[in-house]
Structure 1
Amino acid sequence: MASSGTVCTRSITISHSVAFRAALNWNADSLSVIRRFLSHQPQGLTQLDGQGNTILHFLALDGNANALKQLFEDRLLTNQDLRSRNSRGDTVLHEAARFGKRDVAEMILEKEKDLLSARNHLGETPLYTAAACGTEAVFDLLQVNVGREEVILTRNDGCTVLHAAVTREHYSELL
């Protein structure tokens, strides 16, 4: 190991920033780069970018469910890793909800259904985030799994999922 943020393997150096770029700019080599990084530096999932995002946040917002599944199959990810949060307190499921990545949301729910009730710093659940962003397919998926629990439908300030949909003018998609 060259330094705390760099992994050396077969004369290939994989830094934290290289792994992040591989997740952001997905190509044929990205999965192998992330695999090597995580297999030689498992704490790499706790390393954050400037907004507190992990590699998993980037895979979720990009909609890369296949990469997430593969990393689970390789035992480089655990259910606990899905609970990582960025500086806003958003989980990987919040990011999938924000960007309308239904495949990622389904995969996350298979692994860690408790994330449905995870709240960010504003008290927004992934369902609230999907309503606010108008991501209908993810909203439908989360709504079916959540039911009508009041605690999940309301943000810290009392705003509800319906408030979020109306305020952002996404109510027609969600009603």
Structure 2
Amino acid sequence: MFNIDEFKEIAEKLPTFKSLPNEGKYRTAIGRYYYCIFLKLREIVKEIEQDREDGIYELLNSGKAHKALPAYFRTLSDKIRVDNLKNDLITLAEALEDLRKLRNMCDYDVDVSISFTKVIEAEIDIEIIEQTITNLSYQKPKSKTKIVGLKNVLEYFKDKDNLPTYNEVINIMYRRR
């Protein structure tokens, strides 16, 4: 199985190669950052969703996955009443959306100049997302038990039957802001 972190390693090293054209390596590095974190998040959610039969798993395996994944986190945040968890899920969704916009700009907007500053922006988004994956936490009501880590929090809400549904995610995906 491919080690997704290799994308991040490539993204970190690529901008330092002197023999490569700057803009091309910056654009490529940003793309690798995006796919590293997108694939990590998608695999976490797919693992949680694989035995649910409402269509989320299939959605995450489709071309709509890039839009569906942040919508999934936004939808979950809408279901949660705990401010810090709600805010962390929104931050996760926003950082992923920002990184995707940056990746799309690199891939499709050839008239826009991409500098090393944009690589730094991507690194910041990656750092925010990785910290959230690790540190996201939920304090169970009326309990001293704290659930830590995105996967563990998702498993908890799965057990409580409180994960986003397919229709909820689709509604968020196509809601105008």
TM-score by length of 1: 0.24
TM-score by length of 2: 0.24
Q: Normalized per residue, which structure has more helix?
A: 2
Higher relative contact order (CA closer than 8 Å, sequence separation 6+): 2
